[in-house]
Amino acid sequence: MAVSVDVENAGPRAGDEIVQVYVSDVVTSATWVNKALKGFARVLLAPGEKKTVEVALPWEAFQILDAEGRRVVEPGDFEILVGPSSRDRDLLKATLRAE
């Protein structure tokens, strides 16, 4: 799957942004981090330029190690968090359900 987000340079100078994609497992049977960085993309933008950035997010990004040490994707809800940093206030959120 892929995550896409629009990024705009509202400033007067060219710049670049790092779009970061985090995954958070809402309910899990194992201990897991609150949010894990699973992808990123760097985008160069001219002043006033807007681009859609796409970051690949393979199913492996949703895996955890279960009690037997196997890599599994558990059914349930995951939050996809996208932004320029890991700070909650900087992140756009969407929910994905794995069946």
Does the pLDDT value for residue 40 go beyond 80?
A: yes
For residue range 48-93, list pLDDT tens digits in order. 999 999 999 998 888 888 888 888 888 888 899 999 999 999 999 9
State the pLDDT at residue 72: 85
Share the mean pLDDT of the chain.
Answer: 90
State the pLDDT at residue 71: 87
Contact indicator for 81, 92 with CB cutoff of 8 Å: yes
Between CA 44 and CA 60 the distance in angstroms is: 28
State the pLDDT at residue 31: 66
Q: What is the mean pLDDT of residues 2-31?
A: 90
Taking residue 22's Cβ as centre, other Cβ atoms within 10 Å add up to 21
